[in-house]
Amino acid sequence: MFHRLWFCLWHLVGVFSDDKLKTVIVMEDDSFTLNSDLTEMRDDDQIHWRFGKYLLAEINKRTDSMTVYDDVLDGRFRNRLKLNNQTGSLTITNIKMKHGGFYTVENLNTSVIFMLIVYDEVTSVSVKEGDSVTLNSDLTEIMDDDQILWLFGSENTIIAEINVINDSICDDVLDGRFRDRLKLDNQTGSLTITNITTQHTGAYILINGAKPSLKAFRVSVYYSVHCCGSTEAVIRLVLSALVGVATVILLVYDIRSRRAEKDQAQIHTSGSIEI
């Protein structure tokens, strides 16, 4: 049963661009907004949000009413739902594993189904800007029935894929920030990001549709600190020492000059006294 559900899930993941089916992958404790795809509701619009068969929220512009039913299902949604009365979008805050499942939004003309996947384990990876990092799939080899999908960011953008037909890298997505930086190991499914920048900070998710399995990474990129060569460091140290010595010499000279001027003034004053 679980494998059948995962097979359906895998095909849902593969249709991110479909207007009727959308897959959302969210880390536990995060918040996410399910968009109604309306920029603004009209005077006669009606919106209904459902989780499975249960009504979660509704907006009726004709009666100018908006209601959230967050006590359904033993109150698992209590104080977690925020409904936008301008667009009809629904935000779920502090998401837990029990909130995973199918959500449907219906208005007078269309309906859209969201499959919300919640994961609770994440591997944190910290890497210096300009370096390379490999996100390991933990597979020793790719089997014939394996289907590997790499996603990035809150929008779950596909950046790499391996299936029985071919393997491909989608490095032109997101304004080309991954262009010529991705290397996909077609033996293990691991993904390497080269010459990494702060633009690559974020969540990476690996889905293997055949096992089934889901693995998440949170990559953080920190700025590199310029480190001088040994020769340059010695030169800078010597120059700093010379500047320090010169400063001390000037200070001593200034003190002595002031003292000499003061002594000369006192002698001049003493010689001017009439007896």
Per-residue pLDDT tens digits for 114-146: 888 888 788 999 999 999 999 998 888 877 777
Which one is the CATH code of 2-119: 2.60.120.10, 3.40.50.720, 3.30.9.10, 2.60.40.10?
2.60.40.10
pLDDT at position 226 is 54
Tell me the C-alpha distance between 262 and 256, whole Å: 10
Say which residue, 20 or 227, is predicted with more confidence.
Answer: 20
SS3 for 167?
strand
Give exposure, 2-16, as e/b (b: 16+ Cβ within 10 Å).
Answer: eeeebeebbebbbee
Of 112-116, 163-167, 203-207, the least confident: 163-167
- Report whether pLDDT(6) > 80: no
- Report whether pLDDT(208) > 70: yes
| Common-topology check for domains 2-119 and 123-222 | yes
Question: Sorting pLDDT into bands at 50, 70 and 90, what band is 14?
Answer: very low
pTM of this prediction exceeds 0.75: no
Tell me the C-alpha distance between 137 and 25, whole Å: 18
- Report whether pLDDT(176) > 90: no
User: What CATH class is the domain 123-222?
Assistant: mainly beta
Tell me the C-alpha distance between 190 and 51, whole Å: 35
Question: Where do the structural domains in the chain lie, given as residue ranges?
Answer: 2-119, 123-222
DSSP state of 224: P
Tell me the C-alpha distance between 100 and 115, whole Å: 8
